[in-house]
Structure formats: structure tokens, C-alpha cells
Amino acid sequence: MTGFPPAGRDRPALIGPGAGSGPAGEGPATVRVPPRAQRLCTLLAATAQAHPHRVAFIDPPHKPLWSGRAAITWTYAAAAEIVARLANGLRGWRLAPASRIGIALAGSSESFLAYLAVEAAGHIPCLLPLALDEDGLLAAVQTAGLPAVITQTRFGPLAPAQRLCRVAVRYFGLRYLAAFGPDVPDGVINLDAMVLDAAGGPFAPGPGGFISFAEGDPARPVHRSGDALLAAIAVYLVTARVQPGDRILSLLPQTDLRGLVTGLGAALVAGAGLETLPVFEARSFAATLDGPLPTRLVVPAALERNLAASRLPTSLDGIVLAHRAPGRLGPRWLTPQANRPVIDAVAFEETALLAGAREANDVALSLTYPERGHLFSTLMALRRDPDGRLAFRGRACHAGALQRDITIPETVDAWAASAFSVDVEDDQTLAIRRA
């Protein structure tokens, strides 16, 4: 089986009054986030009910070449139906509520459906980077204490399901291993068959949130609550201003805070569509970018110079350049236009994502003079100490090292020092370095 069977306008943005009414980056001083009871899966279901035919996820055309699976364009209604079926199947596993389930998938529709199904089953997704080798996966599974992992059988020359079978032999705590096909190995639960056999149903209550790994290090799992995830998405959308029905085209791995907030999270909170290119190929990227829908492009910041030298289509409504700390913030080759803002989004490991639009609420200016920067009420605040060290405060920055028993503490309104500081020259932040 190479794909799922088919299943049988404008939701208001959730980030403050006047969203989309002004230039990028000039958001309100207060930010509205979805209620704390909301999760990404419930946002998917809400849009599916209100706008069932709106596009949610788009697979790249060349997906069959590296996954053996068909490329499908998913409406919100179809995606919600498959998520409900998968969640019902996952609830059949003998796992305690709010268990941690690993997701080792390339960033295509299966990744998003699996993430949302884990949430809808009442569990917590743990994002496992596919770049990890067998020993790295073993360390990640053990450190995060995962009783189950969802993966796929093919990713180019890799065979993730076979690799995880070997991990399961070495770690008896891994009780359930499931994969999207084709050619699911013996002993691995076939998720395509689960979709065909399971019926949909109501979503189970759950804590939301997710687990990721700081800098992809399997020894450093980080937990972020559902409330903190929604707050981080809301703060980002104040600058990014994704609109219902837009298309987000992302080249980022969907395995950490940076990728999740700018990709799946932004799409579901805004009611937009998400398209990814897990395997980059220049010709396919050019064809995909030149589409008719209003598009918000999200790329690693290292591609800025290449984009500046390229012909960009008129349908491109914004460019998000994703950085990681530590690193430099220049030089700059892209200049924002009236109808095409350029946004820098800097990830400080898994703690915070700071976004700013050039010539508006610029990230470099915010890092140099946090007191002059854009304010996000209680959701996120930034401070630079005299020695250049940065500190964060607020719900959008509430994440910490994974504990054996996950509890959801109340967000403490206190400054937390980060591992980073900035170098300021001529009243500009040119680089972020480790403190």
C-alpha cells in the first residue's frame, strides 16, 4: 500500500486584534492564544468542522521516489478523519495515559498525522531526528523512556523501521513499534492497515506539548507543555502573520521547536496549509515555490544568499529565515518589500524562538536593546545583562529538561538565564555566542 485511502472560509486568526491589518512585525502589545485546553489536534478538528475542504497538508510531487508512498494533498476534513482513526488504533495499545510516543518520520504528511494522532490518543509526541544512527536512536529512546515509536519503512537509502527493530532488540522498554509502509517488517505494526481497519472517534483528553532534543543531542531531551507550545506559536505569528488559507512552504526539519512552531504549529493555529520538502532538490523546489497560492516560505538562514540571487514568484508573500544560536546574524542579502516581509527567527535551543521583521521589529535591534523591542505581554520577554548574557521570561519560553514523571507546573514569572550572550558593535548585534 502506497498511501492512505481518501476520507470523507476563514477561521479567525487566534493572535490578537487586527491580525494581518498592518505591516509584518507591527503586532499588538498583547497576544491572544488558544485556550489552555486546546491542542494542535483540536485546532485541526475545529477547522475541519468549519472549513472541511480547506487544504491542510501537501506532499511533494517527488515523494514516491524516496518513500515509496503516494503524494497526497490533504484537506482538513480528510486529515482529521485519518487522525481520528490512528488515535483510536493507538488507544488500543496498553499504555498509560500521557505516555511518551516517539515519532521518527521525515517531515511529510505522515509526520503531521502521527503527531496529531498521538495527541488525540492522549499521549505526548517525542520528536526523534531521523539523522540519528542506531546508537543515537537507542540513546534517545532510553533517555526519553519511550515505550512506543512511530516510523516509516523507507527514507531514501535509509530503512528507519529496520533500524528501530534493532533498537527494540537492545532496549526491552520499547514495547510497540509501528510504521507506515510499504513493506512493513515482521513484528512491526502496520499503520496503513490500522487506518483501514480502525474507526474514528472522539479525541481523548491529554496534556498536549511535546518532547524534543536540544541540538539534536539524544542525551538532552527537553519537555515543553501544551500551553507553552501554543504561546510560542502565538508570539511567532504576531510577526509572521500567516492568514487562513495561506500556504506555508517549509524546508526545515519538523523535529524541534524551530521547525514545529514555524511549520505545523503556525499552520494549525492560523488555519493555513503546510507543504514540506524533506528531500531537497533544486528543480522540484523551484516548481513548488512557483505555485498560485499565497505562500510563506520558511528556510534555513544559510539559504538567504541563494534566494537573493533567484527569481522569486509574485505569489511569495513572505520569507522566514530560520537561525540557530549560536551564530552570526549577517551579512544580509534579502531586502524586505512592501508586500514581501523578510523575517528572521532565531531559535535558542529548545527554550525560545525570537522572531522579528526586518525594518520593523528587527531581531538584531531586539537583541541589542531589548527594552526598545516589541513586547508580547506576559508570553515572552527578553533581557540582556551588562555582560551580554541573555535571559528569557514568560509562557512562550517555558521548557526544561525532561523528568522521569512529567508534571505540568504553573509557569513561574521569573527570569531564566540562557546559555547565550550577544556581541554588540556599533549599536548592532552581529553575533550570538555561548555564554
Question: What is the 8-class DSSP label of residue 346?
Answer: E
pLDDT of residue 23: 43
Span 110-129, average pLDDT: 97
Greater pLDDT, 228 or 34: 228
Q: Is 325 exposed, middle or buried (0-12, 13-18, 19+ CB in 10 A)?
A: buried
- Mean pLDDT computed over 124-141: 95
80 and 48 Cβ atoms separated by less than 8 Å: yes
pLDDT tens digit sequence for 358-373 = 988 899 888 888 877 6
Q: What is the pLDDT of residues 159-169, one digit of tens each?
A: 999 999 999 99
What's 379's DSSP letter?
T
Sole residue written with cell 482529521: 80
Would the pLDDT of 16 be above 70?
no
Residues in CB range of 21: below 8 A, 6 or more apart = none
Closest among 39, 101, 49, 163 to 406, alpha carbons compared: 101
**Binning pLDDT at 50, 70 and 90, where does residue 347 land?**
very high
Do residues 214 and 3 lie in contact, with contact meaning Cβ atoms separated by under 8 Å? no
Report if pTM > 0.85. Answer: yes
More confidently predicted of 13 and 22: 22
Percentage of residues in the chain having pLDDT higher than 90: 70
pLDDT at position 406, please?
65
**Cell match 532565531: residue?**
346
Q: What local confidence, expressed as pLDDT, does residue 18 receive?
A: 29
Band of residue 32 on the pLDDT scale cut at 50, 70, 90: low
Question: 242 near 271, Cβ under 8 Å?
Answer: no
What is the chain's mean pLDDT, rounded? 88
Identify the residue with better confidence: 376 or 138.
138
Under DSSP, the state recorded for 55 is: E
What is the structure's pLDDT at 370? 86
Residues 6 or more apart whose Cβ sits within 8 Å of residue 46: 11
pLDDT, residue 2, reads 41
- Burial class of 406 by CB neighbour count within 10 A (0 to 12, 13 to 18, 19+): middle
Confidence of residue 20 (pLDDT cuts 50, 70, 90): very low
Q: What is the pLDDT, as a whole number, of residue 36?
A: 64
Amino acid 15: pLDDT = 29
**pLDDT tens by residue, 263-293:** 999 999 999 999 999 988 788 888 888 888 8
- The answer to which of 19-28, 273-282, 373-382 has the lowest mean pLDDT is 19-28
194: nearest Cα among 310, 75, 114: 114
Which range among 37-46, 197-206, 349-358, 367-376 shows the weakest confidence by mean pLDDT?
Answer: 367-376
User: What's the confidence (pLDDT) of residue 228?
Assistant: 94
Strands (E), 68-218: 73-75, 100-104, 124-127, 148-152, 176-180, 189-190, 210-213
Alpha-helical runs (H) found in 160-297: 160-170, 191-197, 226-240, 257-260, 266-270, 282-289
Give the per-residue pLDDT at 376: 57
Long-range contact pairs involving 404-407 (C-beta distance under 8 Å, separation at least 24): 404/145, 406/98, 406/100, 406/124, 406/207, 406/223
In this prediction, residue 101 has a pLDDT band, given cuts at 50, 70 and 90, of very high
pLDDT of residue 100 exceeding 70, the answer is yes
Tally Cβ neighbours within 10 Å of residue 412: 9
Q: Is 218 helix (H, G, I), strand (E, B) or coil?
A: coil
